[in-house]
Amino acid sequence: FQGSWDVEGERRNFGIEKCSGDWILEIDADERIPKKLQKEILSITQNSRSDWHPINVENYFGERVVRYGWGCYIGKSSYAGLFKKNSKIWGLQRVHPKILLTGKKGEILKNKISHFYCKSIFDLFEKLDSYSTARALDLKNNKIDEGLFKNIRRIFSRFWKCFIIRKGYKEKELGLAIAIVAGLYPLLSYLKFKIELSND
């Protein structure tokens, strides 16, 4: 099925609706399923009595596995990627929509999905630009004015979370870049909203 959707949640819900099987495996275009995970998924769908299962994620930066520092909208540690139909509904936000999960949660899968998040540092900054633009549109459409100083504080709180709490410092310069991008994201989204979109 093909189409065009400005809102991520609408697109994902449309895809889920079109699935005809009992179980759904939801992955993005930049994700791959290793052989061991493939076998585990087949086993789970044949034997599980639960309604959904989280899948751990291994995030790649180019060819390099980056294990520390992800978060605050970039990368992801795990997600509810394997679920029965009618047990997962996406919200109507453009960036990282809220998710409603129903039914019984199952065990987290042992094997990880491969997530090729960024090809280069340039790709990382391009994602910051596109995601912050989408977030600015969410702020406008939902009439959310979070305030300038709150978003300035988020620079430091998100940097601290990525670089210190989630040990981004172990990734050295790359971990620093990820933490900076994570910190700038809410403020940049807010400035785009206030300067470019609030008077439209």
- Tens of pLDDT along 127-178? 999 999 999 998 998 888 889 999 999 999 999 999 999 999 999 999 999 9
pLDDT at 101: 96
The pLDDT tens digits of the residues spanning 177-190 come to 999 999 999 999 99
Where are the extended beta strands (E) located within the chain?
A: 23-25, 31-32, 52-61, 64-65, 78-84, 88-90, 99-101, 113-118
The pLDDT tens digits of the residues spanning 10-65 come to 999 999 999 999 999 999 999 999 999 999 999 999 999 999 999 999 999 999 99
d(CA 183, CA 146): 15
d(CA 108, CA 53): 6
d(CA 73, CA 87): 24
Across residues 73-94, what is the average pLDDT?
89
Q: Decide if pLDDT at 198 tops 80.
A: no
* Total-model pTM: 0.83
Residue showing tokens 């109507």: 92
Are the C-beta atoms of residues 162 and 135 closer than 8 Å to each other?
no
Q: Decide if pLDDT at 97 tops 80.
A: yes
What would the 3-class secondary structure string for 63-117 be? CEECCCCCECCECCCEEEEEEECCCEEECCCCCCCCEEECCCECCCCCCCEEEEE
d(CA 147, CA 151): 7
The pLDDT-based confidence of 82 (bands split at 50, 70, 90) is very high
Handedness of CA 18, 117, 191, 175 (dihedral sign): positive
Other beta carbons within 10 angstroms of residue 67's beta carbon come to 14
